[in-house]
Amino acid sequence: MVLLFLHQWMDFMVRNLVEPQLLNEEVTWARYELGEDFFEEYIQFFGQTALEVHQDLVGLLGSKNSPAIASKAHDLKGLCLNLGLEIFGKQLKAVERAAVEQDWALVKGLLAQFPKLREESVAALVEFKLRQSG
């Protein structure tokens, strides 16, 4: 009984320690330290880039261009992780993997979640900026 409890407790702790956050504020803070104006431009750049990449990925899905989908997802993943957007980064990693494996149904399903993730991510960045500046 005690061993079962310890095993369940360890599983819980590991899941919670590695669970990605919408916004890893330590990483975001490093970008914010570059200047408030720069950070504002970075938020706008991210929002526009994420929108364009989503449109590109949807278009590429039609042609099932695995290397191009994986590449675009990889590039946006880097931008997300540089801003501390862990959940969006994890989602993009899943798109990369699904594209390489040519699991088109999974790619389509993951891409369907992008508009909401983009919106939540931009909102989290804006909220972070407001908390820092005011």
pTM of the model: 0.81
Distance CA 82, CA 44 (A): 14
Residue 17 has pLDDT above 60, yes or no: no
Residue 128 has pLDDT above 60, yes or no: yes
Domains for the chain: give ranges and CATH numbers. 22-133 (1.20.120)
Distance CA 43, CA 124 (A): 10
Summarize pLDDT for 91-112 with one digit per residue, the tens.
Answer: 999 999 999 999 999 999 999 9
What is the token pair recorded at 30? 């490093």
Q: Are 58 and 113 in contact (CB under 8 A)?
A: no
